[in-house]
Structure 1
Amino acid sequence: MDLPRPFVIRESDHRIHNPFTSGKLATLGRALRLPPDAAVLDLACGSGELLCTWARDHRTTGTGVDISTAFLAKARERAVGLGVADRVRFEHGDASGYVAAGPVDVAACVGATWIGGGVGGTVALLRRSLRPGGLLLIGHPYWRREPPDQATVEGCHATSRDEYLPLPELLEQFGALGCDVVEMVLADQDSWDRYAAAQWLSTRRWLDANPDDELAPAMRAELAGAPARHARYQREFLGWGVFALMDR
């Protein structure tokens, strides 16, 4: 049980596996006004940057669950490097069915709502671990601009335009699920650039080091078109944000 190799290759040097910069992650942590020792559950935690930096900056504790052995190894190294290995722990597993052993103050899924089959299912999953009055964090895409055609939809890694909503409708969806939206921090085009462009360098360096790997032709073809696809589609049409919710 692990992530496909192409994903790991692209994001091998990422600390944050979505279009969120370290500055925006820090802004979110400050905005939530978390008390010391608040317990955080992060499903599909990737390389653990949220848990590790918030443990350092806000003295939270936390558990992260992810399917990627490579990213979890980085998360554990990061925890040691930041001096918070006693405050966070990481589990290898399928986050789609994970429920915390006890109620947590913050239950998060930042950029991986497929673990619940979409926004509604992910909110329902996170609720199973949340204490009354706690915070849900959902990271999710939305349309910045209406896509004009199917090529734009697919260029934004969607199968249909109904897969994402415009920002107002996404916020209304959270309300329809019985949640108040109490904070949000949104990515911008620079955030998208930092996320996407870092993949190109990681891919190129991997190609230089592994020219005879069976994945090399596909990764070479991907790299050849990725910058223009990003500029034409994702950068212009797709937004992304982390939304803090509280049950009504």
Structure 2
Amino acid sequence: MDIPRIFNIAESAHRIHNPFTPDKFATLGAALRLESGARVLDLGSGSGEMLCTWARDHGIVGTGIDMSQLFTEQAKIRAEELGVAHQVNFIHGDAAGYISDEKADVAACVGATWIAGGFAGTIELLARSLRAGGIILIGEPYWRQLPPTEDIAKGCLANSISDFLVIPELIASFGHLGYDVVEMVLANQDGWDRYEAAKWLTMRRWLEANPDDGLAEEVRSQLTSEPERHAAYTREYLGWEVFALMPRLCLMA
């Protein structure tokens, strides 16, 4: 079980596999008012930066699940580096359908909502691991501005314009699912640059070291096309944000 090899190559030097930066995760952790001992579940945990830094800074305990064997090993190494290996556990596995035996104070999927067919299905999945009064975190793309054509949407690596919503519509969708939005932290264009542009040097170094690899042609193609695509499309049209959600209370009349 693993993700496609091209992602393991391109993002092998990443600590964060989405457009968030360390300061954004710090902001989010503070905004959630995390308490020592709070239990966090992270589906699609990547290289573990969110759980590891929150364990260090807030004293949380947590579990992360990710399909990438490489990223899971990197997460374990990061936990050792930060001295929190006794607080966080990283599992190499399929997060789709994962339900925790122990209810979480925070159940998160920040950038991998495809595991349950989109944000609605992922919210439903996370809710099954959430304690009463807990918080769900969803990291999701949105349109900063609606693409004027389907070709531009595809330049943002979407299948169509309908794949994503603008922020007001996205927030309204959470309400329709029965959730209050209780916090939100946005990535910015600098975050997109750090996520996307960091791949290019990694791919170039990999090509220098592996010119005869069977995947070299695909990596060469991406290195050629991705800088222009990112500058023309993703950077201008696509945003990314983490929303904190809580089930709506039923108030007595």
TM-score, with structure 1 as normaliser: 0.99
Q: Partner of 1:95: helix, strand, or coil?
A: coil
> Would you say 1:6 and 2:22 are equivalent positions?
no
Matched, 1:105 2:105: yes
Query: Counterpart amino acid of 1:3?
Result: I
Task: State the shift of 1:152 in Å.
Answer: 1.1
Per-residue CA shift, 1:98-119, capped at 9, x if unaligned? 0001111000000000011011
How many residues matched? 248
Structure 1 counterpart of 2:212, one-letter code: D
Q: Unaligned 5+ residue runs, structure 2?
A: 249-253
Residue deviations 1:203-229 (CA, integer Å, cap 9, x gap): 111011100001111110111111110
Q: What is the match of residue 116 of structure 1?
A: 116
Alpha-carbon shift at residue 148 of structure 1 (Å): 1.2
What letter matches 1:192 in structure 2? Answer: W
Q: Secondary structure at the match of 1:133?
A: strand
For 1:155-194, what aligned pairs fall within 5 Å after superposition? 155-194=155-194
> Residue 54 of structure 1 aligns to a residue in which SS?
helix
Distance in structure 1 (CA, Å) of the matches to 2:247 and 2:153: 32
Question: Hey, what's the Cα distance between the residues in 1 that align with 2:150 and 2:103?
Answer: 43
Shift of 1:151: 1.9
- Which amino acid in structure 1 is aligned with residue 33 of structure 2? R
**Match in the other structure for 2:251:** none
Residue identity in the other structure for 1:147: P
d(CA) in 1 for partners of 2:31 and 2:139?
Answer: 15
| Structure 1 residues without counterparts, runs of 5 or longer | none
The 1-side partners of 2:98 and 2:201 are apart by 34
Amino acid at match of 2:17: H
Q: Distance in 2 between matches of 1:3 and 1:158?
A: 19
1-structure distance, mates of 2:167, 2:60: 30
Matched, 1:71 2:71: yes
Calculate the aligned-residue CA RMSD, in Å: 0.6
Instruction: Report the AA paired with residue 198 of structure 2.
Output: A
SS in 1 for 2:184: strand
Q: CA deviation at 1:30?
A: 0.6
Which SS does the other structure have where 2:72 is aligned?
helix
**Alpha-carbon distance, 1:64 to partner:** 0.3
Taking the TM superposition and a 5 Å limit, the aligned residue runs for 1:146-157 are 146-157=146-157
Deviation of residue 155 (structure 1)? 1.2
SS in 2 for 1:96: coil
Letter of the structure 1 residue corresponding to residue 208 of structure 2: D
State the secondary structure of the residue aligned to 2:96.
helix
Q: Which residue of 2 aligns with 1:234?
A: 234
The superposition leaves residues 42-72 of structure 1 with CA deviations (integer Å, 9 ceiling, x where unpaired) of: 0010001010000000000000001110000
TM normalised by structure 2 equals: 0.97
